[in-house]
Structure formats: structure tokens, C-alpha cells
Structure 1
């Protein structure tokens, strides 16, 4: 994903991808396909702020 792309359910993310969600930047920690409920602030195993 492009740096700062908005997080979206159904998107496949790779470790190191960067997104924004709720005006906050996050970096993906593990490859996964996003599903509703796995928003970055809800899953610290998948996302870290920054």
C-alpha cells in the first residue's frame, strides 16, 4: 500500500505497509487480510502506531 493509505477491510497487507486509521498512522507487523473488527487500534499484534 502507499504510505498513508487509509485502512480498509478486505485489503491484503504485508509487514511494513503503512496506513492511516482515524487520523493516526500505523505500520503493519504481520501479513494478513483485513476484516471488520481488525481495525489497527483493535489488534496490536498486527499494527503498531507510527
Structure 2
């Protein structure tokens, strides 16, 4: 027979750790004349790219042509 003195302490609450990262904002189609910020996502020819350097896009500056501006994700 157990003899308890005082108030029993509550059981610890277990909080599950999320297994997925927050959802990234949706990518929009790449478009010349658009100002892109670092981290912006675009789609071009069915692929998604992340902007590596802030810039205004010009015709011919499509993501696959400039790997210093865009990284395929």
C-alpha cells in the first residue's frame, strides 16, 4: 500500500514534433519586366526556380540561362 503525501505531479504533456516544413509560397510563371527578390519562386518550362540575386528580369534572362540568378528546385 502506497502512502502519498502532498499533491501528485501531473503527467508530462508530449508535444509532437512537426515532420514537414512550412509550405513555401506558390511559384508564379517567370515574366520579363518583373522585379524578383532573393527567395522568390518562379516556374519556367515546367520547372521551379528560386531567385538567388535581386534583379529585374529582361527578355533572354530566363532562369535556365542564368544560373547565378536562379537555382532549380
Same fold (TM over 0.5): yes
TM-score by length of 1: 0.94
Instruction: Verify the 8 A CA contact 1:7 1:39 in the aligned structure 2.
Output: yes
TM-score by length of 2: 0.65
Q: More strand by proportion, 1 or 2?
A: 1
**Residue 52 (structure 2) pairs with residue 29 (structure 1):** yes
State the shift of 1:3 in Å: 2.2
- Which position in structure 1 is the counterpart of 2:33? 10
Q: How many residues are matched? A: 49
CA distance in 2, matches of 1:3, 1:46: 19
Give the aligned CA root-mean-square deviation in angstroms: 0.9
Instruction: Verify the 8 A CA contact 1:20 1:26 in the aligned structure 2.
Output: yes
Q: Unmatched 5+ residue regions in structure 1?
A: none
Choose 1 or 2 for highest CA Rg: 2
Q: Aligned to 2:60, what secondary structure does the other structure show?
A: coil
